[in-house]
Chain A
């Protein structure tokens, strides 16, 4: 078992230096450590205890719960802020016509944002890799679906994904092997909605999920606390901490409260070291043979820009001027209505089924695809709020809460932005974090492609609501963020207009990898984590191949 070596001053040397300990960094760390390499992970945030987070959630106010505050219960390192919205801390400055649609909730903590994801483990469709070729919009990936498919399988194995064994229910169907576990069984609401909408082409399918109804490895079975976001209270949902622990068992060392800020390069533009500040603002240096930045879609481009040096004056990996550009998220809308019969959403995991009929088609040459998640988060909170607003009291209030909780439907609709270089992350000239490092600013415009797609989605929503006898239909009018941050270190075959290659290796630096959402050149309409992990594993394979081939 190989371990990084530390100097008396706290500097460290390892075969692999990884910045970020979220799911992508942790899975790479585990693979590399298990292969016998010394690995150090630099994590800006704190190492948290689940019990503390659960307690913070239990004591959270009704207002924060009903408005989905997923961030506030996670303590932040004093020197490594992350976004907060109750109230807003403006760590990420947003501007542009749809700046408010880019309010991302991500964690800087050991284990990363999968502490509060919903564990949806979707694959992109084969067509999503060829947007330019197929539909004349967006970009093609540097790799095909077939290239990534084995890594999707390995990602599903690593995270213990439950997904449908029935090909009719798979999206996409192109798979070389079954999911590690069969789908989480549909709840009553999923089955009933499928009966009503599927005859009209909506194709309701189970969401593949990083949890299971039987124990998986040392992970207990999901018992439907319905609390995936903001915290699974029993650890039944996959999160990055599981691979942090596995990586540590294989010899990797995680340094928390270690904020990376500077990157050294040599005359061949290979990375030689990454500098970080510890909790006492003391600077240290991590030297290594290979380097991975897996800090998330905002923090990775921010660090690359912050770390501009003499040889790379516009930022590390940025000779193409694409670092921080093409920022994407599944800008979405929510639609709520009351069905004319009880559907009892809110039992089981927070996400369960999803309408994928409008996921692909020739229309994508002109407007965005969408997917509609039948949100399975308990409706008791919103139902209570609505019933109180009606001025009811006593038994009438209780009955109305019950009716609204039973019949309430919330569709979370995700749309697909195109990569637009003008949607750009830059370093703030005015705001700095407690270490004096520039905070990120992001300009965001969802674009006509999404706006048109939202119009089409609205028609589909009305049809779905109609099939369920829906009343009080409300569709949000401003776009919301979905925390699927993509594009900032975009992948491509041409180093002139992209940042990384098909292995997520930086075009500019042969020993630097930037895997994760930032590398994704097309958004599809599905949650990004599985694709991020697949890219991470592919990157890890290429790092291993470099060690084996004596190239590092």
Chain B
């Protein structure tokens, strides 16, 4: 699909550009020259790549005007304005500069981007697709002349040039090449899932330098408050027990009754990106995901969507006021009105069941805790699914760390994986943005650490950095 139409479009673009050159210059030339089909292709690619997830601020931000602070373990990284504004955006970018930014993480002014921008994934994008994205961002996206806030990370992460060395180690700047041993659908899926959808950005664990670990693709990783789970085809630790239809439905709607509901960043990905992809493209992603190497966590006994059963407690506890422990009391007071005292959810599925639910069956309870604290917010196909959060500022009920731990443990015991326990410290951690990776914890010490472990060149620069610190 990507092939023919796009190539034809780009041929038209080149011809158009050549014809227009005599009388027009600059952006005006390109505007006339870009064909509707090319721009439409770019729009679809931008959706598949979910550029808006970061570059359009939530709750009414102007499209692609940036300003959204992406919570990273190292501090907020502000998405830039990528509208074609000449003063605040990328209006002055040539296509080559655009390409460098997207695929190599180098801004128009030469400065390095942080890998919060998933350029290590986008590096796989084809030239044709970069061309279409450029056409879309320069011709259809409306310019917004408002500068996004500058990102200010603490030392040493504020030294953007240090990303040069990180890139030298971790950026594979080669384009996607189809694997002839795999079907066209799987290859298409691989391109969609990695080059565009950058699934790996969240689902692949990272090493101490925050680079994705080879051999662990899609094996699951912490995103801070939320976990991007193992989505390899292992039947116990991954999604091997799901049918292709289940996976398709999940990507299309974020809701597979009796298995999982999307929340947090995955809800955003479905809302902004996946639900808008063609069915064929979603099927291709499913086909790809189902054939990546399976990864098993030896501690897992059964799949995370297979735990628990309905509760019959309601008939037992009524008339016994004051006898419930705190977790059960909060469950029946704050959860049962929607999820039903049985935990079975509502008949129409708007309120999901709590047993046979990946949030309660996972071996790591982060997504359960995060859902209780932050709620669920997902608009798919015009339907707004909304669960209120119960953290500070909740309109419904503000729960303490102890309350959240108690109700999470009750839910895990009653409906989920009873071997998993939530402590107050776990809740405090999720409330504060989740476990911090080593890089964030060691902060400035990472420079000498890099010196010790890296190549000679890196060591030299490390010394320079150290000298600058003294100066």
Q: A52-B333, A219-B395, A220-B387 are in contact. Are A234 and B338 (CB under 8 A)?
A: yes
- Establish whether residues A55 and B388, one from each chain, have CB atoms under 8 Å apart when the complex forms: no
Q: How far is the CA of A235 from the CA of B338 in the complex (A)?
A: 11
Q: A219-B395, A241-B395 are in contact. Are A50 and B334 (CB under 8 A)?
A: yes
Q: How far is the CA of A54 from the CA of B320 in the complex (A)?
A: 14
User: Nearest CB to that of B59 among chain A residues?
Assistant: A217
- Establish whether residues B334 and A218, one from each chain, have CB atoms under 8 Å apart when the complex forms: no
Q: Does A8 contact B (CB under 8 A)?
A: no
Q: Does B330 contact A (CB under 8 A)?
A: yes
- Establish whether residues B321 and A218, one from each chain, have CB atoms under 8 Å apart when the complex forms: no
Most buried by B among A55, A215, A221, A245: A55
Q: A217-B395, A218-B395, A241-B395 are in contact. Are A55 and B389 (CB under 8 A)?
A: no
- Establish whether residues B333 and A54, one from each chain, have CB atoms under 8 Å apart when the complex forms: yes
- Closest-CB distance, B43 to chain A (whole angstroms): 27
Q: Which residues from 382 to 430 on chain B have a C-beta closer than 8 Å to any C-beta of chain A? A: 384, 386-389, 393-398
- Establish whether residues B397 and A235, one from each chain, have CB atoms under 8 Å apart when the complex forms: yes
B395's partner among A52, A214, A245 (CB-CB below 8 A) is A245
Q: Mark A239-254, 1 if CB is under 8 A from B, else 0.
A: 0011001000100000
Q: Which residues from 155 to 209 on chain B have a C-beta closer than 8 Å to any C-beta of chain A? A: none
- Closest-CB distance, A365 to chain B (whole angstroms): 45
Q: Does B329 contact A (CB under 8 A)?
A: yes
Q: How far is the CA of A249 from the CA of B398 in the complex (A)?
A: 13
Q: Does B319 contact A (CB under 8 A)?
A: yes
- Establish whether residues B318 and A58, one from each chain, have CB atoms under 8 Å apart when the complex forms: yes
Q: Does A393 contact B (CB under 8 A)?
A: no
Q: Which residues from 56 to 87 on chain A have a C-beta closer than 8 Å to any C-beta of chain B? A: 56, 58-59
- Establish whether residues B388 and A220, one from each chain, have CB atoms under 8 Å apart when the complex forms: yes
B319's partner among A54, A56, A59, A233 (CB-CB below 8 A) is A59
Q: Which residues from 211 to 231 on chain A have a C-beta closer than 8 Å to any C-beta of chain B? A: 214-215, 217-221, 223, 225
CB contacts (< 8 Å) of A218 on chain B: these are 375, 388-389, 393-395
Q: Does A385 contact B (CB under 8 A)?
A: no
- Establish whether residues A215 and B319, one from each chain, have CB atoms under 8 Å apart when the complex forms: no
- Establish whether residues B388 and A50, one from each chain, have CB atoms under 8 Å apart when the complex forms: no
Q: A51-B397, A52-B333, A245-B394 are in contact. Are A59 and B386 (CB under 8 A)?
A: no
CB contacts (< 8 Å) of B389 on chain A: these are 218
User: Nearest CB to that of A233 among chain B residues?
Assistant: B337
User: Nearest CB to that of A245 among chain B residues?
Assistant: B393
Q: A51-B334, A234-B338 are in contact. Are A56 and B321 (CB under 8 A)?
A: yes
- Establish whether residues A54 and B337, one from each chain, have CB atoms under 8 Å apart when the complex forms: yes
- Establish whether residues A55 and B395, one from each chain, have CB atoms under 8 Å apart when the complex forms: no
Q: How far is the CA of A59 from the CA of B333 in the complex (A)?
A: 11
A234's partner among B319, B332, B337 (CB-CB below 8 A) is B337
Q: Does A429 contact B (CB under 8 A)?
A: no
A214's partner among B334, B384, B393 (CB-CB below 8 A) is B384
- Closest-CB distance, B386 to chain A (whole angstroms): 4
CB contacts (< 8 Å) of A50 on chain B: these are 333-334, 396-397
CB contacts (< 8 Å) of B398 on chain A: these are 49, 245
- Establish whether residues B337 and A215, one from each chain, have CB atoms under 8 Å apart when the complex forms: no
User: Nearest CB to that of A215 among chain B residues?
Assistant: B386
Q: How far is the CA of A307 from the CA of B334 in the complex (A)?
A: 40
Q: Which residues from 346 to 398 on chain B have a C-beta closer than 8 Å to any C-beta of chain A? A: 346, 350-351, 375, 377, 384, 386-389, 393-398
Q: How far is the CA of A302 from the CA of B298 in the complex (A)?
A: 69
- Establish whether residues B386 and A235, one from each chain, have CB atoms under 8 Å apart when the complex forms: no
Q: How far is the CA of A62 from the CA of B394 in the complex (A)?
A: 31
Q: How far is the CA of A24 from the CA of B98 in the complex (A)?
A: 54
Instruction: Give the A-B pair count, Cβ closer than 8 A.
Output: 76
Most buried by A among B337, B384, B394, B395: B395
Q: How far is the CA of A220 from the CA of B394 in the complex (A)?
A: 11
Q: How far is the CA of A49 from the CA of B389 in the complex (A)?
A: 14
Q: How far is the CA of A221 from the CA of B323 in the complex (A)?
A: 31
Range for the number of chain A residues in contact with chain B: 20 to 34
- Closest-CB distance, A231 to chain B (whole angstroms): 10
- Closest-CB distance, B166 to chain A (whole angstroms): 38
Range for the number of chain B residues in contact with chain A: 20 to 34
- Closest-CB distance, A112 to chain B (whole angstroms): 15
- Closest-CB distance, A26 to chain B (whole angstroms): 12
Q: Which residues from 174 to 233 on chain A have a C-beta closer than 8 Å to any C-beta of chain B? A: 214-215, 217-221, 223, 225, 233
User: Nearest CB to that of B386 among chain A residues?
Assistant: A215
- Establish whether residues A235 and B396, one from each chain, have CB atoms under 8 Å apart when the complex forms: yes
- Establish whether residues B396 and A220, one from each chain, have CB atoms under 8 Å apart when the complex forms: yes
CB contacts (< 8 Å) of A55 on chain B: these are 321, 324, 329, 332-333
- Establish whether residues B388 and A219, one from each chain, have CB atoms under 8 Å apart when the complex forms: yes
Q: How far is the CA of A90 from the CA of B159 in the complex (A)?
A: 71
Q: Mark A294-310, 1 if CB is under 8 A from B, else 0.
A: 00000000000000000
CB contacts (< 8 Å) of B351 on chain A: these are 223
Q: Which residues from 273 to 289 on chain B have a C-beta closer than 8 Å to any C-beta of chain A? A: none
CB contacts (< 8 Å) of A217 on chain B: these are 395
- Establish whether residues B318 and A59, one from each chain, have CB atoms under 8 Å apart when the complex forms: yes
A235's partner among B330, B346, B388 (CB-CB below 8 A) is B388
A49's partner among B319, B350, B397 (CB-CB below 8 A) is B397
CB contacts (< 8 Å) of A59 on chain B: these are 318-321
- Closest-CB distance, A215 to chain B (whole angstroms): 4
CB contacts (< 8 Å) of B395 on chain A: these are 217-219, 235, 241-242, 245
- Establish whether residues A234 and B333, one from each chain, have CB atoms under 8 Å apart when the complex forms: no
Q: How far is the CA of A13 from the CA of B397 in the complex (A)?
A: 29
CB contacts (< 8 Å) of B397 on chain A: these are 49-51, 235
Q: A242-B395, A249-B393 are in contact. Are A58 and B332 (CB under 8 A)?
A: yes
CB contacts (< 8 Å) of A241 on chain B: these are 395
Q: How far is the CA of A235 from the CA of B386 in the complex (A)?
A: 12
Q: How far is the CA of A223 from the CA of B329 in the complex (A)?
A: 22
Q: How far is the CA of A225 from the CA of B340 in the complex (A)?
A: 12
User: Nearest CB to that of A213 among chain B residues?
Assistant: B384
B386's partner among A51, A221, A225 (CB-CB below 8 A) is A221
- Closest-CB distance, A298 to chain B (whole angstroms): 27
- Closest-CB distance, B398 to chain A (whole angstroms): 8
- Closest-CB distance, B337 to chain A (whole angstroms): 4
Q: Which residues from 299 to 353 on chain B have a C-beta closer than 8 Å to any C-beta of chain A? A: 318-321, 324, 329-330, 332-334, 337-338, 346, 350-351
- Closest-CB distance, A54 to chain B (whole angstroms): 4
- Establish whether residues A54 and B334, one from each chain, have CB atoms under 8 Å apart when the complex forms: yes
CB contacts (< 8 Å) of A234 on chain B: these are 337-338, 388, 396
Q: A234-B396, A245-B394 are in contact. Are A225 and B337 (CB under 8 A)?
A: yes
User: Nearest CB to that of B385 among chain A residues?
Assistant: A215
Q: A215-B386, A220-B386, A220-B387 are in contact. Are A51 and B393 (CB under 8 A)?
A: no
CB contacts (< 8 Å) of A220 on chain B: these are 386-388, 396
User: Nearest CB to that of A53 among chain B residues?
Assistant: B333
Q: How far is the CA of A242 from the CA of B334 in the complex (A)?
A: 16
Other A-B pairs, 17, CB within 8 Å; known A219-B396, A234-B388 = A50-B334, A51-B330, A52-B329, A54-B333, A54-B334, A54-B337, A59-B321, A215-B386, A219-B388, A220-B388, A221-B384, A223-B338, A234-B337, A235-B394, A235-B397, A245-B394, A245-B398
Among all A-B residue pairs, the 8 with the closest Cβ atoms:
A51-B333, A235-B396, A233-B337, A215-B386, A59-B321, A54-B333, A50-B397, A51-B334
Interface pairs (16), CB distance under 8 Å: A51-B330, A51-B397, A53-B333, A54-B334, A58-B318, A58-B332, A59-B320, A218-B375, A218-B394, A220-B386, A220-B396, A223-B350, A235-B396, A242-B395, A245-B395, A245-B398
